[in-house]
Amino acid sequence: MNNDFVHVLILCTHNSARSVLAEGMLNHWAQRLGRPVRAHSAGSAPGGRVNPFALQALSGVGIATSGFRSKSWDEFTGAGAPPLSVVITVCDSAAAEACPVFFGGATQPIKTHWGYPDPSNAEGGDDAKRRAFELTRQAIGYRMLQLLELLHSLGGACGVADPAARAELQRALDLIGRS
């Protein structure tokens, strides 16, 4: 794994919708803006497949979706895992779960919660689900831009051990989650 990047892990219970949208949008914006950030997504109880509406929402804005898969957060706890700087939960059930200890970096990643309603639960058939996924993609995309700006303003110093700097980063991440 490339240590020249800030690695962000986005968690949701099934890793099939919101976390996949967040991974796709953060990687898309990071690449377009030339920022050294890599997003990953995972779940505590992966569903085994990515929701097709999530893939459709991403491909609708030109994001290639062939590499997305539903995976366990266990992939990010071992010695070969990327050095995580930030862990973001994006669904209420994942926020309530005890996250595992993530290895790979000099310090534990900073954790925050940015909740979104599950677009999979939209009522009204496929058209309503498509709209819900698109609105969720847009909302997540906006926060991912805010995250990139925050990381850029810090000069990529997310694995900081200084307690005051970590506390400031935590406050800024939590503020984005309330925006």
Residue 94 lies in a domain: yes
Nearest to 52 by CA among 129, 122, 123, 124: 129
Residue 142 lies in a domain: yes
* Rounded (10°) CA dihedral 15, 17, 18, 21: 100
Q: What is the CATH number of the domain that holds 82?
A: 3.40.50.2300
The answer to whether the CB of 116 falls within 8 A of the CB of 37 is no
Residue 140 lies in a domain: yes
Residue 1 lies in a domain: no
Residue 29 lies in a domain: yes
Q: How far is CA 141 from CA 30, 48, 83, 90, 152, in A?
A: 11, 24, 23, 13, 16
Mean pLDDT by runs of 10 across the 179 residues of the chain is 80 94 98 96 92 98 95 88 91 58 67 91 94 97 95 71 82 92
In single-letter form, the type of residue at position 176 comes to I
Residue 14 lies in a domain: yes
Domain that holds residue 121: 6-178
Note the pLDDT of residue 165.
79
Residue 125 lies in a domain: yes
The answer to whether the CB of 129 falls within 8 A of the CB of 122 is yes
Residue 171 lies in a domain: yes
The answer to whether the CB of 34 falls within 8 A of the CB of 3 is no
Note the pLDDT of residue 39.
97
Domain count across the chain: 1
pTM for the predicted model, two decimal places = 0.91
Q: DSSP class of residue 72?
A: B
Nearest to 133 by CA among 73, 59, 62: 59
